[in-house]
């Protein structure tokens, strides 16, 4: 197993804001990297949106607030980049160019700098967007607002992995990571009809579905034949029959305990808040 501090001695500077960049560099800091964050004078938008989350993601990270529209701030940035192994950005290429922070300008002052650019889409890096629109472009939105920031989180994982790869490249290398492209692995189950509404893992089979309980909801994932057989045997039902009325007999928590005693894949659905509240 690699050491938890396998990035010890690596120096990272990041201008990446919102979620993907901070999530990725938080992992880099946890792995031993020294990280400096450059934020605009008003701070990262994540700070006002979710102050506690911003604090959590920036533990151990040095933050400097710089107005990169000014010459003194850009000079300070170049000082911060001196000796850095990797610089991460999340601004659109045109904005980086206006600030004098595009790869060509940065490497003119710091020749060996490796640069990882987070963009909305590698195909259309100037297109404005955020997690919701990236999920919409990829085709993974349902009828409701998403329950989590899927594009941001998946992209952060790709940023972390790409950063590790980039650190093994010669000094001066640049790699882009697109949020839309990061969602591509999630689309295979939809393309192949596995998780579409009529797909086997999209609700078409009774043993792999969500059910209302007397209180709460339960998730049933009795996919393998031995789980399916045991589930129906324990419920005294013909295999393949509807389970809706049965799961209303107990609370979700009670069903989860019942399933654990019988080695069945049943879990109470955690709910961090509903629209009715």
Q: What is the pLDDT of residues 3-40, one digit of tens each?
A: 679 999 999 999 999 999 999 999 999 999 999 999 99
Express each pLDDT in 128-137 by its tens digit.
999 999 999 9
pLDDT in the model for residue 1: 47
For residue 7, give the nearest of 174, 166, 175 by alpha carbon: 166
pLDDT of residue 3: 60
pLDDT at 55 over 90: yes
Contact 59, 37 (CB under 8 A): no
At 265, list the tokens: 């894949």
Per-position b or e across 84-115, b if 16+ CB within 10 A of its CB: bbbbbbbbbeeebeebbbbbeebbeebeebbb
Residue 200: DSSP 8-state: I
Residue 211 makes CB contacts below 8 A (sequence gap 6+) with 217, 218, 220, 243, 244, 247, 248
First to last CA, the chain: 45
**Cα–Cα nearest to 215, from 245, 248, 246:** 248
- Percent of the chain past pLDDT 70, that is, above it, reads 97
Q: Which band of pLDDT confidence, cut at 50, 70 and 90, is reported for residue 274?
A: low
Q: What is the pLDDT of residue 142?
A: 86
- The model's pLDDT over 149-200, given as tens digits with 9 standing for 90+, comes to 999 999 999 999 999 999 999 999 999 999 999 999 999 999 999 999 899 9
Output the average pLDDT for the chain.
94
Residues 186-237 have pLDDT tens digits of 999 999 999 998 999 999 999 999 999 999 999 999 999 999 999 999 999 9
- pLDDT at res. 168: 95
Among the listed residues 43, 51, 8, 50, the one whose alpha carbon sits nearest the alpha carbon of residue 29: 8
* 231 contact partners, CB below 8 Å, separation of at least 6: 207, 220, 222, 264, 266
Distances (CA, A) of 12 to 34, 78, 82: 6, 13, 11
The C-alpha atoms of residue 135 and residue 139 are separated, in whole angstroms, by: 6
Report the DSSP beta bridge partners of residue 62.
Answer: 36
| CA dist., res. 51 & res. 61, Å (int) | 15
């Amino acid at each position: 197993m690699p050491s938890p501090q396998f990035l010890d001695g690596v120096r990272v500077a990041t201008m990446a804001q919102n979620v993907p960049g901070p999530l990725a560099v938080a992992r880099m800091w946890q792995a031993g990297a020294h990280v400096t964050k450059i934020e605009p004078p008003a701070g990262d938008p994540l700070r006002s949106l979710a102050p506690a989350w911003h604090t959590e993601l920036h533990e151990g990270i040095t933050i400097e607030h710089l107005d990169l529209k000014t010459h003194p701030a850009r000079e300070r940035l170049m000082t911060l980049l001196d000796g850095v192994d990797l610089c991460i950005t999340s601004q659109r290429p045109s904005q980086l160019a206006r600030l004098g922070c595009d790869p060509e300008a940065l490497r003119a002052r710091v020749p060996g700098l490796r640069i990882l650019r987070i963009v909305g889409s590698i195909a259309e890096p100037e297109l404005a967007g955020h997690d919701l629109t990236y999920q919409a472009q990829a085709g993974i939105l349902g009828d409701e607002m998403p329950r989590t920031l899927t594009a941001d989180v998946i992209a952060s994982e790709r940023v972390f992995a790409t950063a590790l790869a980039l650190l093994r490249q010669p000094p001066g290398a640049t790699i882009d990571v697109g949020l839309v492209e990061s969602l591509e692995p999630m689309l295979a189950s939809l393309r192949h009809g596995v998780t579409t509404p009529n797909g086997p893992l999209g609700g078409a089979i009774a043993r792999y579905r969500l059910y209302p309980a007397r209180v709460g909801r339960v998730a049933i994932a009795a996919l393998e034949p031995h789980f399916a057989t045991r589930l129906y045997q324990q419920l005294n039902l013909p295999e393949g029959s509807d389970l809706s009325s049965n799961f209303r007999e107990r609370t979700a928590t009670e069903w989860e305990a019942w399933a654990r005693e019988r080695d069945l894949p049943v879990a109470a659905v955690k709910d961090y808040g509903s629209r009715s509240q």
